[in-house]
Amino acid sequence: MRSTLMLTAAALLAGCSAMQPTTDKWMGLITPYRIDIMQGNVVTKELAAAVRPGMSREQVRDILGSPLLTSAFHADRWDYVFTLRRQGVEPQRRSVVAHFKDNKLERLDAPDLPGETEFVTSVRPKRSGAEPTLALTDEQKRALPPPVKTEAPASVAPQGAARPYPPLEGG
């Protein structure tokens, strides 16, 4: 009996592992939560425009940040890669390659970079519903109850420390 039960359980589990899901939905009903994964260096048009041929490696690092990939086999190449994976949205991937010659920037390969505003709108999660209002209208301000006036407390003399402390500087 026990061996039959074990064989049945093993067969069921083996059958589950052979199923390859074609969508994110489990059994067509439940979509598991997937966190947003943002990795790498953000390089925008404005940052790429600030980098000029002839700059030193330190100057390029100051502007673009540390490269995500450096290789011992390609010592004169830095790779800046940015990826974003978000549920329900096509993954984003951008790469920028800095080529150096004699420790000076020779060229920057940066195809199709977004501007800063475009980048922020592309990574900002979409909100559902109307945007919240952050200020009251004049009509709402008039509808508020008047503030309650309270008497100011009697002036109290400031009190010092409960015990004397040694001076901060040697004296």
Quickly tell me which residue has 């592309």 as its tokens: 122
pLDDT in tens, 135-147: 889 999 999 998 8
Alpha-carbon distance of 74 to 16, in angstroms, equals 45
Alpha-carbon distance of 79 to 94, in angstroms, equals 10
DSSP state, residue 145: P
- Collapsed DSSP state (helix, strand, coil) of residue 58: helix
What confidence score (pLDDT) does residue 70 get? Answer: 82
DSSP state, residue 100: E
- Collapsed DSSP state (helix, strand, coil) of residue 96: strand
Alpha-carbon distance of 48 to 66, in angstroms, equals 14
Task: Return mean pLDDT, the chain.
Answer: 81
Q: Is the pLDDT of residue 51 over 90?
A: yes
Query: What pLDDT band is residue 36 in, cutting at 50, 70 and 90?
Result: confident
pLDDT in tens, 151-160: 877 777 767 6
Instruction: Confirm if 87 and 12 have CB atoms less than 8 A apart.
Output: no
Helix (H) or strand (E) holding 18, with range, is helix 2-18
User: CATH number of 41-113: 3.10.20.90, 3.30.70.100, 3.30.1450.10, 1.10.599.10?
Assistant: 3.30.1450.10
pLDDT in tens, 117-141: 888 887 776 666 777 778 889 999 9
